[in-house]
Amino acid sequence: MRVERTPGDTSRGASNIQNRGILMANEDQDQGERPDGGGSSHGGKAAHGDVDKGKRQFLAAATSAVGVAGVATLAVPFVKSLEPDASVAAAATTIADLTKVAPGMQMTVSWQDKPVIIVHRTPEMLKSLKEVTPDLADPNCEVPQQPPYAKNIYRARKPEWLVMVRVCTHLCCIPLYKPKPGTVEPNWDGGFHCPCHGSLYDLSGRVFKDVPAPRNMAIPEYEFIDDGSKVKITAMYPKAKLC
Ligand code: FES
C-alpha cells in the first residue's frame, strides 16, 4: 500500500525513552518535545547541537536499559562514546529472553551501549512488508546494512523475529515503534517513525523514499540459542553504518 505524505511533517513528539529502561509495549507514545525542541521537517539537516542532543539521548536510553530482569547482559562496557574500543566491543554479548515477547510486542535491550529492538511480528505485520515495497528506498537491502542471512524483506533469520539496532541512520536518534496501521499517516502500514526530522521505516527497518535518513537501520550479527527461546546479539555487521 502506497503511503501518501503531506509536505512538512507536522507530527510532534520525541523519542523520549530516557529512564524507561527495557521497553515492552505494543506501541511507543509520542510525548514531550523533540530533542531539538523545534518543528519538524522532512528535508532539513540538524545543526551540530542537535546531533549532540541526539547522541546524548541515545546514550541515556542505552545505558538505562542495562540490568533489567529477563535480559542477561555480559561484559557491556559503560562508556560515553558511540564507538567503543574495538577489543571491548568484540567481547560484549547480550542475550535476550524471547519468551517474554508476545506476538506484536517489542523489547529493547542494551547491547554494546546501543539500543537493540526485538519485535515479535505477527502474520499481518509480515504481510505488510510486501505491501510497502514500492515506497522504500532500498527494498531489497542492497546496501549492506545487515549480515547476508538477513538480506531479505524480513531482514531476519526468522521472519517473525526482527532484531535491529534501533538507531535512525540520519543523525542517530531513536525512532518510535509505530506498528498500528494509520497511526503516523493515513495509509501507514506500521513501522518506525523518527520524530527528529520525520524519517520513516517499515516493520523491517527499511527506510522510505524522500526522508532524511539515507539507508535502512542496521541489523547486528545474532543467533538463536536454547532451542530458539533466546537470541544472542554478538557483533555489529562490519559493513553496516549506524548513522
Ligand atoms: S535523526 Fe533525523 S530523522 Fe532520525
Give me the percent of the chain exceeding a pLDDT of 90: 60
Please report the pLDDT score of residue 62 as a whole number.
Answer: 41
Q: Looking at the chain, list the stretches that DSSP marks H as alpha helix, in order from N- to C-terminal side.
A: 48-64, 86-91, 123-131
Span from the CA of 104 to the centroid of ligand 1 (angstroms): 24
Average pLDDT, the chain: 75
126 Cβ contact list (under 8 Å, min separation 6): 154, 159, 160
Substitution site in 168, 193, 217 for ligand 1 pocket (most atoms within 8 Å of beta carbon): 168
Task: Give the residues across from 10 on adjacent strands.
Answer: none
User: Over the stretch 50-69, which tens digit does the pLDDT of each residue have?
Assistant: 444 444 444 444 433 333 33
Give, using CA atoms, the residue closest to atom 1 of ligand 1: 171
Q: Among positive and negative, which fits the CA dihedral 7, 214, 181, 114?
A: negative
Substitution site in 28, 41, 169, 199 for ligand 1 pocket (most atoms within 8 Å of beta carbon): 199
User: Over the stretch 122-138, which tens digit does the pLDDT of each residue have?
Assistant: 999 999 999 888 899 99
Question: Which residues are tagged catalytic?
Answer: 197
For domain 44-235, is the CATH number 3.30.70.100?
A: no
CB 169 within 8 A of CB 215: yes
Residue 239 has pLDDT above 50, yes or no: yes
User: Over the stretch 181-197, which tens digit does the pLDDT of each residue have?
Assistant: 999 999 999 999 999 99
User: Over the stretch 19-45, which tens digit does the pLDDT of each residue have?
Assistant: 333 555 567 765 322 333 333 333 333
Span from the CA of 213 to the centroid of ligand 1 (angstroms): 6
Q: What are the structural domain ranges in the chain?
A: 44-235
Please report the pLDDT score of residue 186 as a whole number.
Answer: 93
For residue 152, name the pLDDT band (cuts at 50, 70, 90): very high
